Amino acid sequence: MPPSHDDWSTRHSVQATARRTAALVNSLAEERPEPAAIAEVLLAHGEPAPLELSAEDVAAMRAAAVRLREVFAAADTDRAASVLDSLLREGTGRIRLSSHDGTSPWHPHLDSDDDAPWGEWFLASSCMALTVLIWDRQRPPGGVCASPSCRAVFLTLGSGSERRYCSRRCATRERVAAHRRARA
């Protein structure tokens, strides 16, 4: 019996994919990301084991991460939408539906095939999630941490005011540094 739609709301699945995108963009920003480290991020975000990544896969994913970072770096919703629209035009295939041979509910894909290479899959699944987030929320899907020593990307899924930092840790560190500068 195929899984019911209750197990798999669209919003939940889009947010989970977007979280995976942010985590991968950050892990792939390392100087030389290890395939094993990237595989661990994928497993932590629900990709089924066993999972084999080559150095070429990681290089292709890294190229995709550089493009995806531009969406997070966009200053406002219009800019995020326009950057993402370019990515959809240049980097993804046509929309298609897949149920992965009946193992999941029908859902849209922008990669060419269920067995598409990792780099293509990463860019396409990320573009799909970020597109739906902009559509659903009419605001930028995330941002880049304002801490110069961090620059991690983050998602803004809550409804709160605009965020500048990826984490409480970065916000505190920068606040302390600003205090020190003011007193000096």
Decide: residue 92, CB within 10 A, 0-12 exposed, 13-18 middle, 19+ buried: buried
Task: Report if residue 170 touches Zn ion, rule: CB under 5 A.
Answer: yes
Q: Tell me if 96 sits within 8 A of 109, measured CB to CB.
A: yes
Q: What does the alpha-carbon distance between residue 13 and residue 68 come to, in Å, rounded to a whole number?
A: 19
Task: Report if residue 150 touches Zn ion, rule: CB under 5 A.
Answer: yes
SS3 154: strand
The separation between CA 159 and the C-alpha centre of its own chain, rounded to angstroms, equals: 19
Task: Report if residue 87 touches Zn ion, rule: CB under 5 A.
Answer: no
Least Å distance, CB 173 to Zn ion, is 8
Q: Which is nearer to Zn ion, 22 or 110 (CB)?
A: 22
Task: Report if residue 153 touches Zn ion, rule: CB under 5 A.
Answer: no
Task: Report if residue 83 touches Zn ion, rule: CB under 5 A.
Answer: no
In the list 132, 145, 153, 155, the residue contacting Zn ion (rule: CB under 5 A) is 145
Q: Which is nearer to Zn ion, 65 or 152 (CB)?
A: 152
Least Å distance, CB 144 to Zn ion, is 9
Task: Compute how many other C-beta atoms are within 10 angstroms of the C-beta atom of residue 150.
Answer: 17
In the list 25, 81, 133, 166, the residue contacting Zn ion (rule: CB under 5 A) is 166
Task: Report if residue 171 touches Zn ion, rule: CB under 5 A.
Answer: no
Least Å distance, CB 70 to Zn ion, is 18
* CA-based nearest residue to 126, from 15, 29, 3, 51: 15
Q: What does the alpha-carbon distance between residue 84 and residue 90 come to, in Å, rounded to a whole number?
A: 10
Q: Which stretches of the chain bind Zn ion, using CB under 5 A?
A: 145, 147, 150, 152, 166, 170
